[in-house]
Amino acid sequence: MTPATRLDLDPDQAPEPATGSWLERRLPVGRALRREYRDYPLPRNLNALWFFGAFAVVTLAAMIVTGICLALHYTPTEAGAFDSVEAIIRRVPSGWILRSVHMAGASCFFAVLYVHIFRGLYYGSYKAPREVLWLSGFVALLMVMATAFFGYVLPWGQMSYWGAVVVGNAVAAIPLIGHPLAGMLLGGDAPGAATPMRFFVLHMLCGGLICAVLFIHIAALHVTGSNNPAGIEPRSPADTLPMHPFYTTKDGVGLCLFLAVLLGLAFLAPALLTEADNYLPANPLLTPPDITPEWYFTPFYALLRSVPSRLGGLLLAGAALAVVAAVPWLDRAPTRSARFRPLARPAWFAMAASFLLLGLAGSHEATGFWLWLGRLAGLYWFLHFLVLLPLIARIERPLPLPTSLA
């Protein structure tokens, strides 16, 4: 045997393997991707509501790309913020497309997240062993809400400025730490010269944190597996299908329809979901007749205004989110899916209606009918999570569950 054909050659002198196999042995990314995505088993009965997780990831990617492009031309100063946004729209090549997609993307992102959350509430995706999955998604929602608020202030229009005033006043109502915290956030007692720069930094920082939390959320999903409309765990290989090609093709069709809606809003109706007053430069001396936030904040804005106390309104809005985070421990029923829960199902529809009514009340002046509508809808929201869910879990007789997903 010649030295060139011996099997006991020094490894450093052995023939170099193919690049792919060499890299795969040292960093097995391809194998991990095949295991966790291409061949990953999913329940075979997932419906179209499971598309919205993919929609959220694609929308987040679009928001990050367009946000970075917009940041290259944005001037985070009191004097230059509004003019730089106008310059992006009118003078930067394709700038109006970037801003329109970013604005429409924010609304579509929240619409997707709300559907994703309410789907989880209906099918019991928060129940054991998926508590960490639910909590990581809740943290992601909080980060998205903070990022959206910081971004809403950046154009420095009328609604942007006065929205910052409302939130600053609400934060200042917190005992002991409220005034220092509001001062740190706004850069003073009221929105001023330091506010655009601080909100710009926080907006970009929170965007990165969303990606980190989303990574944890997806990792938790792959540890516990996906829930399904029946709410039972797969019991055999016949109950599952590999992600590719069965669900990648379905997600692809859904994404085409979703992107058609997103781009339709961006190209044909970019101002449909925003306030016209925000196209006017900020004027601290002229208060708008009705300060209205973007539609995705209106349910919590209704709660913020439902009581005369600023601190009380802030606590109510925070508690409305906290009960959603605590739902795995509030609902102790062993059956997950509301399909098989004759009492939980109508209660879920009433809860979803109360959220829509809160949004409707928050988009109108806090007087008369709209004020009381917001109060009653908010009352049912808390009643559902704190009273009805624990009570229903005790008295409900669920329908028989299927023995298999197949």
DSSP states of 265-315:
HHHH-TTTTS-GGGGSB--TT---SS----GGGHHHHHHHHSSS-HHHHHH
Write down the pLDDT at residue 341: 97
Query: What is the average per-residue pLDDT within 352-377?
Result: 95
- Residue 41 pairs in a beta bridge with 242
**Is 116 annotated among the ligand-binding residues?**
yes
Average pLDDT along the chain = 92
Buried b (16+ CB within 10 A) or exposed e, 312-336: ebbbbbebbeeebbbbbebbebebb
Please identify which of the residues 222, 290, 309, 404 carries the catalytic annotation: 222
| 39 assigned to active site | no
Check pLDDT > 90 for residue 122: yes
Look at residues 255, 242, 196 and name the one whose alpha carbon lies nearest to residue 61: 255
Given the residues 78, 239, 251, 275, select the one marked as catalytic.
Answer: 251
Tell me yes or no: is domain 292-406 CATH 1.10.287.
yes
Q: 277, 294, 337, 354: which is the annotated catalytic residue?
A: 294
73 in a known ligand binding site: no
- Catalytic: 250? yes
217 is in an annotated binding site: yes
Inform me whether the pLDDT recorded for 18 exceeds 70.
no
Q: Is 195 exposed, middle or buried (0-12, 13-18, 19+ CB in 10 A)?
A: buried
Q: What is the pLDDT of residue 10?
A: 47
For residue 203, say whether it is annotated as part of any ligand binding site.
Answer: yes
> How would residue 8 be classed by pLDDT, with cut points 50, 70 and 90?
very low
Q: What percent of the chain has pLDDT over 90?
A: 83
> What's the pLDDT tens digit per position in 272-327?
878 888 899 999 999 888 888 999 999 999 999 999 989 999 999 999 999 999 99
Question: What is the chain's length?
Answer: 406
Position 24 scores a pLDDT of: 82
The pTM (predicted TM-score) of the whole model is 0.92
Sequence-ordered list of residues with C-beta below 8 angstroms from that of 230, at least 6 positions apart, any chain: 43, 45, 337, 339, 401, 402, 405
Residue 365 is among the residues annotated as catalytic for this protein: no
Average pLDDT over residues 253-277: 90
Spatial separation of the C-alpha atoms in residues 94 and 187, rounded to whole Å: 33
Q: Per-residue pLDDT tens for 130-176? A: 999 999 999 999 999 999 999 999 999 999 999 999 999 999 999 98
Domain ranges of the chain: 292-406
226 is catalytic: yes
Which of 84, 100, 125, 226 is flagged as catalytic? 226
